[in-house]
Structure 1
Amino acid sequence: MICGVDEAGKGAVLGPMVIGAVGCERETDLPAGVRDSKVLTPRKRERLYAEITGSFPWGVVKIPAAEIDRLRQEMTMNTLVARGHADAVRTLIPTPLTAYVDACDVNEERYGSTVAALLGGACTVVSRNHGDALFPVVSAASIVAKVTRDRAIEALHAEAGDIGSGYPSDQTTITYLKDYIAGHGMPPACARQSWETVTRLMDRRRQATLGDF
């Protein structure tokens, strides 16, 4: 068996990062239409997600915002993602002979070596930038990761209101963070407090508070 591994939400300021893994014997066995999740419509992603999870070995690893903040005190973000990729491979039984991973480092070989070391040499690791566009099995993993994260964000919407996509580039997300910090004096639990977006907003609030005296 081979597998593909990819993550969703690495750069988000709100919500978890989700790493997906999908196994198959041959990439030609995967459903027709499997592509990088970013180029698919939500409806098509959901349909393919159902087909993939209904017919192939798969697994997900979710890393909540607070856990990301904690781990970033001990390691780089690239190492954190590599550890998540290795953990996602371990969810598959039997262990794949080869794991294709979407490299989160400009140095593909270095990233692949990191994941392979974390797996203890249990399988061969092929690491490529933009692997979700190169290998259908990584595309399948990207679909599983993206749909799982989207559902987590939908749950946060139901709990907290309109938080946007959770990415710093989303003005709705930034407005939500500003309003929450203004009203509570701290970021929401779903925020990655170590992100520059949050620390900058907290600094602005502290400066504004000092200006009141």
Structure 2
Amino acid sequence: MICGVDEAGKGAVLGPMVVATAGITDPGLLDSLGVRDSKKLTPRKREEIYSVLIEDCAHHVVYISPEEIDSVLSLISMNMVVAQAHAACVEALHPITAYLDACDVNAARYARTIGALLLHPCEIIAEHRADSTYPIVAAASIIAKVERDRAIADLASEYGDIGSGYPSDTKTIRFLRQYILEQGISPPCARKSWKTVSTLLSELKQTSLSDF
């Protein structure tokens, strides 16, 4: 078996980071599905391919909540958080070869990092933009993206329109600013260790001080 690993939501300020792996013994399956980088697919197409992948491929998904991310970032880097989740996904399937989207400027170093975290022998191939190069990584990216989109939809049902959860999204920033303004704290679904949150909290504090 070979597997691919990718994540969704690494840079988001709201919601979980989702890491997924997809494993296959017959690469022809992915060709027939038209698998490619999840970012190049419409939401409907992602859902269609996802439903087949989870039926016909070995797979494993790891969710890392905002609280979990905040709790470990004082001890390890975000890249290591991702690496540990990638390794957990590889371990879950015990493949002969694992293809990973490298979460490090040095892809070879990232491959060595993952190898050192594994308990079972496995050839690790880590490359930048691997989801565009290897269909098996693209398959993993689709699973991760769909799972994260569903998590964001669940949050939206609780909080209202929160956007995509990324700092570049004006809807996300609008939601965060309004929540902090009304509650005086950031929402539980936010990564408090993110600069986006600390900046908005600082703005609120400055605004409050100017009222005196």
User: Does TM, normalized by the shorter one, top 0.5?
Assistant: yes
Match of 2:11 in 1: 11
Match of 2:81 in 1: 80
Deviation at 1:122, TM superposition (A): 2.5
Deviation at 1:32, TM superposition (A): 2.3
Deviation at 1:121, TM superposition (A): 5.1
Match of 1:110 in 2: 109
Match of 1:155 in 2: 154
Contact 1:115-1:125 at 8 Å conserved across structures:
yes
Q: Secondary structure at the match of 1:146?
A: helix
Deviation at 1:102, TM superposition (A): 0.3
CA RMSD of aligned residues (A): 1.0
Distance 2:136 2:41 in 1: 15
Alignment of 1:15-164 (within 5 A): 15-30=15-30, 31-92=32-93, 95-120=94-119, 122-164=121-163
Match of 1:2 in 2: 2
Q: Secondary structure at the match of 1:133?
A: helix
Aligned residue type for 1:8: A
Aligned residue type for 1:134: T
- TM-score, normalisation: structure 2: 0.97
Aligned residue type for 1:2: I
Deviation at 1:139, TM superposition (A): 0.3
Q: Secondary structure at the match of 1:91?
A: helix
Contact 1:34-1:140 at 8 Å conserved across structures:
yes
Aligned residue type for 1:122: P
2:211 aligned with 1:212: yes
Aligned residue type for 2:20: G
Deviation at 1:71, TM superposition (A): 1.4
My pick for the range that moved more, 160-169 or 111-120, is 111-120
Residues matched between the structures, number: 211
Q: Secondary structure at the match of 1:6?
A: strand
Distance 2:33 2:143 in 1: 15
Deviation at 1:73, TM superposition (A): 1.1
Contact 1:86-1:115 at 8 Å conserved across structures:
yes
Distance 2:161 2:109 in 1: 39
Distance 1:20 1:68 in 2: 17
Distance 1:136 1:203 in 2: 44
Alpha-carbon deviations, 1:2-29, whole Å to 9, x = none?
1000000001000000001000114223
5+ residue gaps, structure 1 = none
Aligned residue type for 1:32: L
Q: Aligned residues: percent identity?
A: 53
